[in-house]
Amino acid sequence: MKDFAGKTAVITGAASGFGREFALMGARLGMKLVLADVQPQGLQATADMAGALGAEVRVQACDVRKGEQVAALAEAAMTAFGAIHLAFNNAGVGAGGLVWENSVADWEWVLGVNLWGVIHGVRSFTPLMLESARRDPGYQGHIVNTASMAGLLTPPAMGVYNVSKHAVVALTETLYHDLALVEAPIGASVLCPYFVPTGISQSDRVRPDDVQSASAPTRSQQLSQAVLEKAVASGKVSATEVAQRTFDAIRDDRFYIYSHPQALGNVQRRMEDVIAGRNPGDPYEAAPHVRDSLRAGLKGA
């Protein structure tokens, strides 16, 4: 997809973070925008900022855990603008702690947003994009699914999040192959950011009542939250930079998008462990202070 002007982008998780920056980047490129989130104030703030840049914008409340709401979002985009050219399945939340301490509610919430949100997006947006391609010989489209470096690594005390993001990587790789199989003029990319200052570390503030945990956070969950907040806050790559890299990748038809390519050494070591049949190596080998902090905090817990 080379030309963005006049095209339509649908963005979930648009109230903050990457979603907001995708919207603003799209607005600067002359795109029409359909923005969705569960946070009405943040969503409207993004819409106002994009509108000030000259974009035509529609907003819609959408809990991506609910397939019918994502389908309604897709239909609203078609009704408003007649086609979807760029789909960002971007909404995401985080939860940590020792994997056996996560509640069923933790699993339902994180997988519901991070994985089922992408599944619903792929199921709702892709057929409409394929139909647009059948009607328009010049149609070009692209789907971007937001995963994480946690979709390529397995750091401890992040099990629920790791599982959700590994699944998004696998889903998106399969989507890429399936689109190629039917020779669709639609690209696919997976975004794997590392620690970038966004609202991901405060995800719990938008956690719905139906997936609230009945018990107080465990020691490991508190420690994981503290480590995440510190790591995210200290990130040197901004969400704006990630948005620019994402649009560059769409333009160049690149599948894997990284915020921190220097972290790929850890991914390479993991893959080498898999191929050699070795036990998993230490994912914090390059940052032992993080591992040591977690271990010290859990002693006697």
Q: Is the pLDDT of residue 231 over 90?
A: no
- DSSP strands (E only) in 134-212: 141-146, 186-192
Segment 269-297 shows an average pLDDT of 90
Q: Work out the pLDDT band at 287, boundaries 50, 70, 90.
A: confident
Residue 263 has pLDDT above 90, yes or no: no
Residue 300: the pLDDT is 66
Residue 1 lies in a domain: no
Residues identified as active-site: 161
Average pLDDT on 23-37 reads: 98
Residue 215 lies in domain = 8-298
Q: Which strand (E) or helix (H) includes residue 74?
A: helix 67-81
Distances 86 to 74, 201, 217 between C-alpha atoms, Å: 12, 27, 38
How do beta strands 8-12 and 32-37 pair?
parallel
State the average pLDDT over residues 85-97. 96
Q: Please indicate, yes or no, if residue 3 is contained in any of the structural domains.
A: no
Compute the average pLDDT of residues 9-37.
98
Mean pLDDT of the chain: 94
Q: Tell whether the model's pLDDT for residue 251 goes beyond 70.
A: yes
Q: How far apart are CA 136 and CA 141, in angstroms?
A: 11
User: pLDDT-derived band of residue 291, with 50, 70 and 90 as boundaries?
Assistant: confident
DSSP class of residue 231 equals H
Domain count, the chain: 1
Q: Are 176 and 184 in contact (CB under 8 A)?
A: no
Q: Does residue 115 lie within any of the structural domains?
A: yes
- Of residues 279 and 233, the one with the higher pLDDT is 279
pLDDT at res. 228:
81
Which of 167, 163, 235 is closest to 199 using CA atoms? 235
State pLDDT tens for residues 130-179. 999 999 999 999 999 999 999 999 999 999 999 999 999 999 999 999 99
235 vs 176, which has greater pLDDT? Answer: 176
**d(C-alpha 124, C-alpha 84), whole Å:** 11
Which of 78, 112, 99, 222 lies closest to 154, judged by CA?
99
Q: Of 5-14, 232-241, 289-298, give the range with the top mean pLDDT.
A: 5-14
**What does the alpha-carbon distance between residue 172 and residue 150 come to, in Å, rounded to a whole number?**
15
* Highest mean predicted confidence (pLDDT) among 119-123, 197-201, 227-231: 119-123
Q: What is the pLDDT of residue 7?
A: 98
Residue 142, token pair as written in the block: 């692209």
Answer whether residue 290 shows pLDDT above 90: no
Q: Under a CB-based contact definition with an 8 Å cutoff, are residues 171 and 118 in contact?
A: yes
The predicted structure's pLDDT at residue 301: 59
Task: Assign 186 a pLDDT band (cuts: 50, 70, 90).
Answer: very high
In a domain, 160, yes or no: yes
pLDDT at 299: 85
- Whether 68 is in a domain gets the answer yes
Q: Is the pLDDT of residue 129 over 90?
A: yes
Please, which pLDDT band fits residue 27 given cuts at 50, 70 and 90? Answer: very high
We report the CATH number of the domain holding residue 145 as: 3.40.50.720
pLDDT at 289: 81
